[in-house]
Structure 1
């Protein structure tokens, strides 16, 4: 279990501007944000509010125009593309709405893909993979291709792939968006279990019910954080999410 309570993420004065035709669009506007280890944070807001841009920067998929982004003690902004790729692989797991599984690989092979890319030996890959398959309840489906799995099972495979490198930070982008109600609830329960184990969880969503489950809620409008609210201890107890 990761240490909790100390900053994992520190964002200072971050901006990102895109050109839409000849017009500049301030997708992220002078953002400042601190996220402690073990936090459970939801990011909400209307389309075009900057949620996805912020998520991409937190995930080292995009670089701000200026400002600082410190992740696990390192300022990531000066890193080159190769350094960011290595640091992203070591620090961050991603769960996307559309799963992004490789169609020709089995569930198990999709989950161990980050280990293969990192040059981990087959024996060590098997050692790490076995408990994840067991925890996700995918033992009978590990040899199946993605098109042989349900949506909920595919999202579990995606979560397994995100966990295999033991990241500090898990970024979930509309993780229940393509799932039915029961499968979505199971995925949310799994993500929250992982958070209780110490993983820092950031969820970007349009789903108000999902966003309300987090202990901390951020709302973005026009590239700005307009609300940053923590649940009270009483609200955490009422939601059954006491740590």
Structure 2
């Protein structure tokens, strides 16, 4: 695809990845983590990425999250060509457009739940009064009002993950990237986190979930499977089936 055509395609999608490759050295052996990846994701989609260990799932997520850059190829995010960006530009763009949720939470132990959620606002230089205004509804939505002053080691796994989600959405990103978001949780806490993520998707946030959990992967309206750095399957659920999934999830 020509640069002009790729730019045109990028203008119609939130994410447009064209002919992307990424290779790492494992000792003296090259590992082709991403092989000629082509992928477009529309704003508001709910996408799962599945595949065996070493298939390239996390590498793809890191690239989509501007934590890594491809060896070659193009990656357009929200109409901007991200590959030529330097590290500082990527950091600013990442902060404005992308939220991250990780399996291990990555909370700062010495900060309370509310302070962990507030941290991106502080780093962005937002004034205290505005931070307070934004923080209150997020804490309420997460159901953390009575736990907002607690440190991470005083919270359950599910509560920690909700804090991590709050931190991810406090800057109102267009895209949420979740890497094994239920991997460290019991089934009930995992179900609550999945429900919260899907509610955010229903509100318009584009949701990309990397998971080994087939049941979680099947919940997404679009499912990608990777093997050896290649997308080998890309399927979508008809909208009526997606609505049925949502209705079943809401059923008592």
TM over 0.5: yes
Unaligned runs of 5+ in 2: 1-11
Q: Distance in 2 between matches of 1:63 and 1:200?
A: 21
Q: Following TM superposition, by how much is the alpha carbon of 1:241 offset from its aligned partner in structure 2, in angstroms? A: 6.2
Tell me if 1:103 matches 2:109.
Answer: yes
Q: Following TM superposition, by how much is the alpha carbon of 1:233 offset from its aligned partner in structure 2, in angstroms? A: 3.1
Aligned positions of 1:104-119 closer than 5 A = 104-119=110-125
Give the counterpart of 2:192 among 162, 181, 186.
Answer: 186
Aligned positions of 1:36-51 closer than 5 A = 36-51=42-57
Q: Tell me the equivalent position of 1:29.
A: 35
Tell me if 1:11 matches 2:12.
Answer: no
Deviations 1:63-104 (A, max 9, x none): 000100000010100000000000000000000000000000
Unaligned runs of 5+ in 1: 1-5
Tell me if 1:125 matches 2:131.
Answer: yes
**Residue 99 of structure 2 aligns to a residue in which SS?**
strand
Q: Tell me the equivalent position of 2:204.
A: 198
Q: Distance in 2 between matches of 1:27 and 1:51?
A: 9
Q: Distance in 2 between matches of 1:57 and 1:182?
A: 31
- Which contiguous aligned blocks of 4+ residues in structure 1 show a shift greater than 4 angstroms? none
Give the counterpart of 2:70 among 55, 64, 79.
Answer: 64
Q: Following TM superposition, by how much is the alpha carbon of 1:240 offset from its aligned partner in structure 2, in angstroms? A: 2.4
**Residue 17 of structure 1 aligns to a residue in which SS?**
strand
Tell me if 1:94 matches 2:100.
Answer: yes
Tell me if 1:212 matches 2:218.
Answer: yes
Q: Distance in 1 between matches of 2:201 and 2:107?
A: 23
**Residue 24 of structure 1 aligns to a residue in which SS?**
strand
Count of residue pairs the alignment pairs up: 238
Q: Distance in 2 between matches of 1:20 and 1:142?
A: 43
**Residue 240 of structure 1 aligns to a residue in which SS?**
helix
TM-score by length of 1: 0.96
Give the counterpart of 2:90 among 79, 84, 93.
Answer: 84
Q: Distance in 2 between matches of 1:203 and 1:51?
A: 10
Deviations 1:183-214 (A, max 9, x none): 00000000000000000000000000000000
Q: Tell me the equivalent position of 1:145.
A: 151
Q: Distance in 2 between matches of 1:51 and 1:189?
A: 23
Q: Distance in 1 between matches of 2:147 and 2:227?
A: 42
Q: Following TM superposition, by how much is the alpha carbon of 1:235 offset from its aligned partner in structure 2, in angstroms? A: 2.2
TM-score by length of 2: 0.93
Bigger CA drift: 50-59 or 233-242?
Answer: 233-242
Deviations 1:38-57 (A, max 9, x none): 00000000000000000000
Higher helix share: 2
Q: CA RMSD in A?
A: 1.3
